[in-house]
Amino acid sequence: MEVKTIDRKKQIVDAATKSFSLFGYKATTMDQVAKLANVGKGTIYTFFSNKEELFDEIAFSLMDEMKGRAEKAISPTVTFSENVHNALFSMLEYRKEHKLTIKLYQEAREMGTPAVSDALQKLEQMVVEFLSERISRAIESCGTIGVLHALANIPDSLKVAAISENSWLDKFYNTCPTSMSSIEKAEVLENDDEIATKHDAATQDSQNQTSRGQLEDKVETHFVALVNVNGKVYELDGRKEKPVCHGDTKEETFLKDAASVVQKFMNRDPGEMRFTILAFAPTQN
């Protein structure tokens, strides 16, 4: 017969959360927590030095839960602005509905308890930092996505030279075959720590950072990929719902045909000189 180990720390944290939610921070005592947790008061002190430390543990857990709620609200099927709105709304709704945050905001408003005010300030700061970090990642990632789009669609004759066996790119493309949906691919990329590290390292220099912009904006400090798929030039832009076809092409003329599309982009703003063109194509005479 298996004997289940009792998680005393979790018992204490759960009991303290209940006590703080019912009575507030100031009115909660370690005796109350011990009674609710059904443990001796001394047991609490084996995990937490004082009430402040116990409260901090719960506050950090609350922040993690709010971020988890926001992460679940983010979907690759909706627009960037919708995701920002949904993430913020989910965190604010969580804060409004959670018994502990309701009680803490009430205590801060009516009693001004310093520990509570400080915790709520950290909570608000966490919301701002979380959204700021997510927005920054989305803004800066268009170059990475552009490279992935381009390399995924180069001719087989170039893939051997461009993508090393067992490299991150090789593993990623094998994990995400053509049959996989774009949503599934986005989830794989989102949860890949290695590409996140590589991307962060590459964007430390401000010269490498770009702005996603709006769909109606001119192509400025933003990366798109032009690829040859089944004899057509396609523009792949993360701001748009689907690929944009720019006409016929073939492997021998793709570089020239892609350059014609780029020329159209340049004609939108002839005075703009901040652009980079990176071509994956056979050498042309």
What is the Cα–Cα distance from 281 to 24, expressed in whole angstroms? 66
Residues 6+ apart with CB under 8 A from 25: 51, 55, 104, 107, 113, 115, 116
Tally the C-alpha atoms within 13 A of residue 156's C-alpha that lie toward its C-beta: 1
- CA 166 and chain centroid, separation: 26
What is the Cα–Cα distance from 74 to 224, expressed in whole angstroms? 23
List phi, psi (to 5°) of 146.
Answer: -60, -45
Smallest CA-to-CA distance from 113 within 240, 13, 42, 26 is with 26
**Catalytic positions, written as ranges:** 142, 222
Tally the C-alpha atoms within 13 A of residue 106's C-alpha that lie toward its C-beta: 14
